[in-house]
Structure 1
Amino acid sequence: MHKNNSQQSSFSIIEVIVFASMLSIVLVAAVAYTVRLVFTMTHDRHKLLATHYVEEMHEWLNGERESDWEQFQNYSSTTGTTYCINDPLNLSRTLASLSTGLCGFTGVGTASTTNPLIFQRQLILLKDRAKTATKVTATVRVSWRDEGVLYSEEIVTVYSVWE
């Protein structure tokens, strides 16, 4: 006597649905992680550019202060004078060429693939005395928006007259 076992091993419809559901959850999680990773990388790149723009302005201000303290302190006020510096800086620029007031998020410099037009660079010069200042506080701030959130990088430096 010989028994004939001809059962076929297969998956039930429930097992297929459970497997497909689990696979879908894993794929959705992977896509969500990738999207978050891309956002983080973009934010970090924008932060790096903002830091560069802040440091560039800081170095330019050091040169302006060293070239003529009298002019440097004359372009500040006891309430703080705000300048918009969304244009590229170069050696021929002076404090006299800067425009006062707030500026929009139109970018610093010109548009390119590495320089998105989302930045706003401002300089606030605040002096300690109305007449001849002995100290000028300079706040350089670069702001930008990522996904509707406002971010900023800034440096605050106190300049004083050479003794």
Structure 2
Amino acid sequence: MKTNNLKLITNNFNLGLPRTNAPRYPIGVSSVRGQSMVEVVFAIGIAAIILTTVVSVSVSSVRNSTFSKLNSQANRYAQDLSEWLRRQRDLDWATFKAKANTTGITYCFKTPNPTAWPASGVCGSSDFMTGTKFIRQAKLSLPSTDPLVLSEVTVSWTDSQGTHSVVSITKLVDWRAQP
């Protein structure tokens, strides 16, 4: 019985009906064409979303990588200046201590490898270290109770995300005078 019903359904197209009443395309063909157009638009939309996501992740990754690289360089410049300050302390404690006061004296170091003390003063917004995009300064202060010099080295830079800085604070004492 099921087989006969199937025959009946398939034979309905050949009943001799006038051409105007017969479907223009066999059943499913016109709807398949419409679906394929919708499917193409949908697939293009999904591809655009995926492509946008991939580009966004790539840009974010490059931005993070660049920040990490610059942050690492800034840390190295701060460490280099801290080491230079230690050497100055070791050369002559009295001269080194005279470079600081209780409120703090700031020095702008524009050269990557300083050989002498620069004039005191805060770095300006364009006082970059030679050949870099970094601004480096050190503030030396004398805490009122301890026989030490407090060194605060700041290295800063500006990029598309804003201004960033690395700070290194070191307590320097005259280790030769210690008991």
In structure 2, the residue matched to 1:119 is 134
Query: What's the offset of the Cα at 1:109?
Result: 2.6
Aligned residues with identical type, % of pairs: 27
- RMSD in angstroms over aligned alpha carbons? 2.4
The count of residues paired between Structure 1 and Structure 2 equals 149
Deviations for 1:23-69, whole angstroms, at most 9, x for unmatched residues?
00000110111111111111011001101100110111111000000
Deviations for 1:70-95, whole angstroms, at most 9, x for unmatched residues?
100011111100000021214xx133
3-state DSSP class of the match of 1:87?
coil
In structure 1, the residue matched to 2:119 is 99
Matches for 1:119-158 after TM superposition, within 5 Å: 119-128=134-143, 134-158=147-171
Matches for 1:1-163 after TM superposition, within 5 Å: 12-90=36-114, 93-95=115-117, 98-103=118-123, 104-110=125-131, 117-128=132-143, 134-161=147-174, 162-163=176-177
3-state DSSP class of the match of 2:107?
strand
Give me the whole-angstrom Cα distance separating, in 1, the residues matched to 2:133 and 2:141.
26
Query: What's the offset of the Cα at 1:107?
Result: 3.0
Question: Which 5+ residue runs of structure 1 have no aligned equivalent?
Answer: 111-116
Question: Which 5+ residue runs of structure 2 have no aligned equivalent?
Answer: 1-6, 12-25
**TM-score scaled by length of structure 1:** 0.81
The structure with the greater share of residues assigned to helix is: 2
Query: What's the offset of the Cα at 1:148?
Result: 4.1
Give me the whole-angstrom Cα distance separating, in 2, the residues matched to 1:105 and 1:42.
21
Query: What's the offset of the Cα at 1:159?
Result: 1.1
Query: What's the offset of the Cα at 1:146?
Result: 2.3
Give me the whole-angstrom Cα distance separating, in 2, the residues matched to 1:147 and 1:155.
24
Give me the whole-angstrom Cα distance separating, in 2, the residues matched to 1:105 and 1:50.
16
Query: What's the offset of the Cα at 1:106?
Result: 4.3
